[in-house]
Amino acid sequence: YDKSGDWLYHLVEAASLAFTLGVLWACGGGDKFSSTKGSRYGVAYLAVPVLVVAVFIHPNANVDFLSDVAWTYAMYLESVALIPQLRLFRKSSSSSRGAAARVELLTAHFVAALGFGRLVELVFWYFSYVELECAKGSKMPGYVAVFAQVLQLVLMLEFFWHYARAVKNSTPLVLPTSNCANMV
């Protein structure tokens, strides 16, 4: 076992923690750090239920409850992390006095790239979900990992549809004012 790179992993993890805390601090500042007034979203509505699911459905990869739950929580949380952004898209399109709202080009490409990454991750987990057995031999953590990827893609379907049309027609991404997808 080579321990020569261990310090680097600890350094990267500490830097990641510092950046994450900085982002959380900025998110807590509300509209002060946001370009869109009234864009606050209660993160507890997403984070707490996902944590509860991670505590009860997690693999036993490291044989350490804390690290297994933390890894699982991060993966599950990634699946719902774009809900506030999609909700903001929807809110801005419905509050623009009947006119459809345009999504900024870089934001649209960024969200589409995240969705593409989720698709690649779904393919990965489809072929390796069996690796996530829990201590009792249940494959439930693997099934939930695949479900988390599918959930993210389903939540993004309407966005993908309008994004693909905008790219095909070389027009800005414009979201409609109302339809069935107003649930997000």
pLDDT tens across 22-31, in order?
887 777 665 5
Q: What is the pLDDT of residues 37-68, one digit of tens each?
A: 555 566 778 888 989 998 998 887 777 788 88
Determine how many CB atoms are found less than 10 A away from the CB of residue 86.
17
Q: Quick one: 3 and 82 in the same domain?
A: no
Cα 105 to Cα 11, 32, 131, 151, 174, distances in angstroms: 34, 23, 39, 25, 10
Query: Is the pLDDT at 112 greater than 90, yes or no?
Result: yes
Which alpha helices (H) appear in the chain, and where do they start and end? 6-28, 44-56, 65-80, 83-94, 105-128, 140-155, 157-169
- Domain identity same for 56 and 91: yes
Please give the tally of structural domains in the chain.
2
Shared domain for 12 and 67, answered yes or no, is no
Q: Same domain, yes or no, for 52 and 99?
A: yes
| Same domain as 113, residue 151 | yes
Query: How confident is the model over 59-92, as pLDDT tens digits?
Result: 877 777 888 888 888 888 888 888 887 777 777 6
Q: Are residues 20 and 52 in the same domain?
A: no
In a 13 Å sphere around the CA of 57, the CA atoms on its Cβ side amount to 17
Note the pTM of the prediction, 2 decimals: 0.67
Average pLDDT of every residue of the chain: 79
How far apart CA 90 and CA 75 sit, in angstroms, is: 25
Do residues 74 and 113 share a domain? yes
The domain containing residue 172 runs over which residues? 41-183
My answer on whether 78 and 1 are in the same domain is: no
Residues 162 and 102 in one domain: yes
